[in-house]
Structure 1
Amino acid sequence: MSKSEIRRLLADNSPTSMVVVVKDARVAPRHPELSDGYKAALINFEYIANAVLSTDEVVATMG
């Protein structure tokens, strides 16, 4: 899911909707000299999603 898709979900759904990004289910480019795209993506998701959790954290909340 991209940042624009998350923004659309937050805009289109009711105020009680929640968008959670599962951080260890994401991929992003990493380059040894230019940057870490994965780290940059997680920082961006922290700003726009309701939560950024690991798979284990998500499974634990499902009880």
Structure 2
Amino acid sequence: MGRIKSVAIKTLGNDLIAKHGKRFSDNFDTNKKVLREVKPIESKYVRNVLAGYITRRVQILKRREI
């Protein structure tokens, strides 16, 4: 069981995937680096939660394409 993400994280994550979807991958560390370039977030915790949410969403989207 994972932690439930807040509405703000989900909204921001979905917006970033819609705008910069091709840049994100299913690798957490890569997504953290892309987030630093696309949307500089000072809070390390928020950046990590957002990168984790985006990573999970990309994995789900890749599975749906198959």
Q: TM-score, normalised by structure 2?
A: 0.35
Which structure has the bigger radius of gyration? Answer: 1
- Structure richer in helix, relative to its length: 2
Q: TM-score, normalised by structure 1?
A: 0.37
- Structure richer in strand, relative to its length: 1
